[in-house]
A = this chain, B = another copy of it.
Amino acid sequence: MRAPTIYDLAERAGVSIATVSRALNAKAGLSQATRARVLAAAEELGYVPNSTARGLSYGATETIGIVVATRSVNVTPADEEHESLLFGDAVIRGAERSADRIGYALLLAGIRPRSGWTAAKNMVGRTDGLIVVDRAVSEEALAWLSERHPVVALAWDRPKGREVVVRIDNAGGTRLLMEHLVVEHGFREIGIVRGPASAPDATVRWHTAERVALQLGAQIVGSWVGDFSTSSGERAARRMTEGGAWPPRAIMCMNDQMAVGLLNVFAELGIAVPDDVAVTGFDDIIVARYAVPGLTTVRQPAEELGATAVDCLYDMATGLAPASREVVLPTELVVRASCGCPVSGARRQTVTKDSRDWPAAERSWSQAPGRAAVVGAGGRAASS
């Protein structure tokens, strides 16, 4: 009942284990006959090589680790589903796609709020590279990891240690959105619902929004702080309507969940979106498409982030210097109804429109295995 080893196979095929190894790994210097004999024996025995032993001997595990933050189980389900979990899932899907393409495996580790980063540390000893998503571990931990292992920090601010940062173009996306609101819709008074100060993404978005608004001759007439959750968006909406106050004509939320919170409260209060107040989000989570009205937002290519991270690590692990310390993926404006844009017909139309919105999943540059791309805002190239 013990799994057959290379010795069993060698005996069965009547050759040495070295020959078996060469046959299985398609190395040169073997006669066709011997190779066939070994492969046949392997088939008969149902032999599967022990990857652990292979990794030890070969000196590489051909495995990429991915570290994501896992929220504690006690948040409300709505928040839990919407929040970074889904983002993390998409990243994992993308990473898995790339890993599969290069024949690597993906090892998963979730970091719980108070569990510390031991799980991430342990991955150093069993992977060829590590993806750290968002702020799953502290900056110090990231520095420690990146000093002794190839590390890609995903959706991080910018590289501080030896890690390579793969992120989206927050500034560019925010600019697109603001230009849409100010230039195309003519809104001059914009409100902003920020994220927590600890989130670099949100901070970049916020600062950019302010700057671009000024540049375009609009002004920020109000600013509220949320924590990225739907309920914090609801609280913000209540604060801005306290005592019968009227919210700004247009409100930009730094993520979709908070925007959904606004929609909830405005619907309850009878404030019409977009006719009374235009609302926008950021990220294009699934719910943005199903919100009523459909949420105008900026798409984050979460799967591509994961795929790109794996490509980068592959380069790093195989000795190629990464093309850049920082890889920036472009974002895309997704226009739905919540900003005031006409959406002809009912939801079906929206669905159709959405389908068009989605780019072909295979990016052209992903055809070349293992190559990462440096792409900037709205198509402009950007690297540091």
Contacts and interface: CB of A to CB of B under 8 A. Distances in A.
Instruction: Give the number of copies in the complex.
Output: 2
A89 interface: yes
B50 A125 contact: yes
Q: Is the interface of A mostly helix, strand, loop or mixed?
A: helix
Interface stretch (A92-100, A216-224, A275-283): A92-100
A268 B346 contact: yes
8 contacts: A50-B126, A81-B286, A85-B93, A92-B92, A100-B109, A107-B107, A107-B108, A108-B108
A290 interface: yes
Interface string A52-92: 11111000010100000010011011100100011001001
Interface in A329-384: 345-348, 351, 354-355, 358, 360-362
Given A106-B108, A148-B3, A361-B73, A125 B49 contact: yes
B355 A122 contact: no
A49 to B, nearest CB: 5
A86 B92 CA distance: 12
B70 A97 contact: yes
Contacts of A96: 70, 108-110
Interface string A114-157: 01000101111110000000000000000010011000000000
Contact of A121 (B48, B53, B100, B291): B48
Contacts of A122: 48-49, 51, 105
Interface in A11-53: 46, 48-53
A203 interface: no
A287 interface: yes
A5 B96 CA distance: 30
